[in-house]
Amino acid sequence: MRVGLFVTCLVDLMRPSIGFAALKLLENAGCEVVVPDTQTCCGQPAWNSGDKPGAEALAKKTIAEFEGFDYVVVPSGSCGDHIRTEYLGMFATEPEWRDRATAMAARTYELTDFLVSVLKVEAVPGNYTGSVTYHDSCTGLRSLGIKAQPRALLAKVKGVELKEMNGCEECCGFGGTFSVKFGDVSAAIAERKCDFIHSSGAKAVAGGDLGCLLNIEGKLRRMGDETTRVLHVAEILAGEV
């Protein structure tokens, strides 16, 4: 099985360890993994900001780079959803690109969903000792149905104690450009999320989208919390923490 790993912009620029963890998980499950070195952005920020031409150009570039693989795997529900959902409407009036986008959408999966639903992995290489609470990112949860998958995988990691927080499905306040346009509202939402994390008693918070994790970690540190770890679920599953 040949898998194209779409690393995402944030992972590439801010925490490459997530990309390496995703690679380790996929290879450990028996996949041949390729990371196209020309990949850049899926186009979501441009699309959400109203830059239709820019978003379409990036979408076409991404489709061309990844359509030769059996599957495309993304360690982000947000980026994965953009490829699976938005590309289809973006090219509704361009038959050739619409068909290519449709074919790619059918082969594109968020990382934990791919490991559980397609590969049906029975074990992961990670070994992590400690309590973890899980933040469900908005897009992954509501558009892709990412909820049980990461928890099922965490249950396979020896030493992990999952402590569910209240409001695990509530937004962290990031929302991409939302956090820039509505800073005060975003900060208040993030503080509420951090209060939930503290109330859970967990020593770490995990999630599947780096944008959320950066926002949460930034707020935790500004609130004076220097000890709660903020980890991508792939890092825990792969033992890269």
Q: How far is CA 156 from CA 122, 129, 152, in A?
A: 8, 12, 7
Q: Look up residue 182 and give its two tokens.
A: 């509505």
pLDDT tens digits, one per residue of 206-235: 999 999 999 999 999 999 999 999 999 999
Average pLDDT over every residue of 6-26: 97
Return the CATH number of 124-238, one of 3.30.390, 3.30.420, 1.20.120, 3.40.50: 3.40.50
Q: What is the pLDDT of residue 183?
A: 85
Return the domain boundaries, the chain.
2-117, 124-238
Q: How many CB atoms lie within 10 A of CB 122?
A: 7
Question: Mean pLDDT for the chain?
Answer: 96
Amino acid at 203: K
Tokens 């991404």 locate to 62
What gap in Å lies between CA 133 and CA 126, rounded to an integer?
Answer: 17
| Cα angle, residue 205 at apex, residues 202 and 211 outer, rounded to 5° | 165
- The two domains 2-117 and 124-238 share their CATH topology (first three levels equal): yes
Question: Residue 22's pLDDT is what?
Answer: 98
CA distance 91 to 55: 11
Residue type, 200: S
Cα-flanking dihedrals φ and ψ of residue 165, to 5°? -95, 155
DSSP state of 208: S
Q: What is the pLDDT of residue 182?
A: 86
Is residue 92 classed exposed, middle or buried when 0-12, 13-18 and 19+ CB atoms within 10 A define those classes?
exposed
Copy the structure tokens of residue 223: 């609130």
In this prediction, residue 3 carries a pLDDT of 98
Beta bridge partners of 131: 161
How far is residue 54's CA from residue 44's CA, in Å, rounded to a whole number?
A: 10
Instruction: Pick the closest to residue 113 from 151, 170, 86, 85 (CA basis).
Output: 151
pLDDT of res. 180: 80
Q: Is 10 within 8 Å of 210 (Cβ atoms)?
A: yes
- The span from the CA of 241 to the CA of 24, in Å, is 13
> How much is the pLDDT for 139?
95
CATH architecture of 2-117: 3-Layer(aba) Sandwich (3.40)
C-alpha 151/C-alpha 156 separation (Å) is: 9
The span from the CA of 142 to the CA of 113, in Å, is 14
- C-alpha–C-alpha distance, residues 18 and 12, integer Å: 9
User: What residues contact residue 58 under an 8 Å CB cut-off, 6+ apart?
Assistant: 40, 41, 42, 43, 46
What is the spatial distance between Cα 167 and Cα 223, in angstroms, rounded to a whole number? 19
179: pLDDT strictly greater than 90? no
Confidence of residue 112 (pLDDT cuts 50, 70, 90): very high
